[in-house]
């Protein structure tokens, strides 16, 4: 039983579901409904060629406590009724933690895709979700050596950790050709490698109105000196509407658009001369594509994208956006070990019924 809930989950879990389906495994996909807008969910499913979820829990938005509790309660009902032999969760969103916790309490084994990432920043809601989900999981599936190191340092037994690679890059490799052919930048009157692609949605950047104000000023400066397109996450749009600053961004020349489906967004990443982001997944995708990425955060749980990829950590100060310039140099893709398009297959090899039981320490399942 797979759990998905928010946009990055769909991208990470699609290759796992596909690889297990190819092996004829019986599986159920549960969508918690944390993300529910057409562009945040349905369009992602269709672009990723994910079959419609078997169950939709409709938990929606809310405070962390309310959202997590709704997901736990609804998912517990599903578990009691369906009794899966394994629950697979991915990433670090509230749905991930809620469903891992519900399963663990019922003694059902949990596998965590993208285990072991750590920013060391406990103010990030995702960091809380990562640490607790890993503690609750029986099978920990990692995408980089530092993730394995983080888990070992927390006392997790080595035989529960499996280096499988990055499933997000499986999706990227599968759809890269189609996305490139779209040349989505053309329909926005942008020239290849000459524009900046922007995504910003972390609460630490957009939730505080004073901080958002400074950020908008810097984005306006960027909009005046370089072509730029900004698919605006619903959290960010809500905050920009509350502070009345969306119009200023548009007036600067920066193109504010709705969140894009996966193929359109990937197309814009491929054609970008630079990317400015605070997204986790976008740091990884730009490294795999060889597109320069500037991350507006004080830290990253994905240091491999700095050490071996194209990521530059700007830090916390929005004034550093002045460093972001599109480059017309051709991209130089980075070859990070196990980010090779086959992580889903390796996970299916591990989780498939032929290789079960998996976790030496799993009990009560
Ligand atoms: C969540 C994840 C974050 C991830 C991001 C991916 C948590 C704690 N955070 O953040 O790690 O990077 O998803 O995009 O799980 N909204 C809509 N329509 C939607 C979804 C959300 O309008 O389909 C609006 C609502 O006003 C909602 C707000 O966005 O309150 C935030 O949504 P939520 O899922 O709580 O957090 P994200 O910021 O999306
Ligand atoms: N993405 C997308 N449309 C957009 C912005 C992002 O399809 O308008 C994709 C992106 O290519 C990546 C994933 O969404 O695969 C990243 O999700 P997000 O940035 O929402 O979450 P995070 O990775 O920060 O948790």
Q: Which atom of ligand 2 is nearest to the CA of 266?
A: 11
| Residue 64 is among the residues annotated as catalytic for this protein | no
Please identify which of the residues 2, 201, 233, 342 carries the catalytic annotation. Answer: 201
Q: Which atom of ligand 1 is nearest to the CA of 64?
A: 8
CA of 9 to the centre of ligand 1 (A): 12
Which protein residue has the closest C-alpha to ligand 1 atom 2? 93
CA of 93 to the centre of ligand 2 (A): 13
Question: Which residues does 255 contact at the CB level (< 8 Å), separation at least 6?
Answer: 188, 190, 227, 228, 229, 230
For residue 238, which ligand has an atom nearest its CA? 1
Q: What is the dihedral of CA 144, 282, 218, 298, to 10 degrees?
A: -20
Beta carbons within 10 angstroms of residue 49's beta carbon: 11
Count of H-run helices and E-run strands, the chain: 15, 13
Q: Which atom of ligand 2 is nearest to the CA of 44?
A: 7
pLDDT reported for residue 79: 98
* Residue for token pair 């609804």: 74
pLDDT reported for residue 365: 31
Q: Is 228 helix (H, G, I), strand (E, B) or coil?
A: strand
C-alpha 108/C-alpha 101 separation (Å) is: 10
CA of 239 to the centre of ligand 1 (A): 12
pLDDT reported for residue 115: 98
- The tens place of each residue's pLDDT in the chain, 365 residues long, gives 999 999 999 999 999 999 999 999 999 999 999 999 999 999 999 999 999 999 999 999 999 999 999 999 999 999 999 999 999 999 999 999 999 999 999 999 999 999 999 999 999 999 999 999 999 999 999 999 999 999 999 999 999 999 999 999 999 999 999 999 999 999 999 999 999 999 999 999 999 999 999 999 999 999 999 999 999 999 999 999 999 999 999 999 999 999 999 999 999 999 999 999 999 999 999 999 999 999 999 999 999 999 999 999 999 999 999 999 999 887 888 889 999 999 999 999 999 876 665 554 433 33
pLDDT reported for residue 301: 98
| Candidate from 7, 34, 97, 259 with most ligand 2 atoms within 8 A of CB, to mutate | 7
Q: Which atom of ligand 1 is nearest to the CA of 8?
A: 6
Which protein residue has the closest C-alpha to ligand 2 atom 3? 260
pLDDT reported for residue 364: 32
pLDDT reported for residue 329: 83
Quick check: bond before 13 cis, omega within 30?
no
For residue 13, which ligand has an atom nearest its CA? 2
């Amino acid at each position: 039983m797979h759990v998905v809930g928010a946009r990055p989950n769909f991208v990470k879990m699609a290759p796992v579901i596909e690889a297990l389906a190819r092996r004829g495994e019986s599986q159920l996909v549960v969508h918690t409904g944390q993300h529910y807008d057409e562009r945040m969910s349905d369009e992602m499913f269709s672009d990723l060629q994910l079959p419609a979820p078997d169950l939709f829990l409709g938990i929606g938005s809310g405070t962390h406590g309310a959202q997590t509790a709704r997901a736990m309660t609804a998912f517990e009902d599903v578990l009691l009724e369906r009794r899966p032999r394994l629950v697979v969760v991915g990433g670090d969103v509230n749905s991930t933690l809620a469903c891992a916790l519900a399963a663990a309490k019922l003694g059902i084994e949990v596998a965590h895709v993208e285990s072991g990432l750590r920013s060391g920043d406990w103010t990030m809601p995702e960091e809380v979700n990562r640490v607790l989900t890993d503690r609750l999981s029986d099978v920990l599936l990692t995408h980089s050596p530092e993730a394995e190191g983080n888990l070992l340092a927390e006392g997790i037994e080595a035989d529960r950790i499996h280096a499988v690679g990055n499933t997000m890059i499986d999706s990227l490799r599968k759809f890269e050709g189609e996305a490139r052919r779209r040349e989505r930048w053309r329909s926005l009157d942008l020239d290849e490698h000459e524009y900046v692609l922007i995504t910003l949605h972390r609460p630490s950047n957009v939730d505080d109105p004073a901080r958002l104000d400074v950020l908008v000023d810097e984005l306006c400066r960027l909009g005046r000196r370089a072509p730029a397109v900004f698919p605006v996450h619903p959290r960010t749009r809500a905050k920009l509407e509350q502070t009345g600053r969306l119009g200023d961004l548009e007036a600067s020349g920066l193109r504010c658009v709705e969140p894009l489906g996966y193929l359109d967004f990937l197309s814009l990443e491929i054609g970008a001369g630079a990317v400015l982001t605070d997204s986790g997944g976008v740091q990884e995708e730009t490294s795999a594509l060889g597109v320069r990425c500037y991350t507006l955060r004080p830290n990253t749980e994905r240091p491999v994208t700095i050490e071996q990829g194209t990521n530059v950590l700007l830090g916390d100060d929005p004034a550093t956006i002045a460093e972001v310039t599109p480059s017309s140099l051709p991209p130089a893709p980075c070859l990070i070990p196990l980010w090779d398009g086959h992580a889903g297959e390796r996970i299916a090899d591990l989780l498939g019924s032929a290789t079960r039981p998996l976790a030496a320490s799993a009990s009560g399942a």
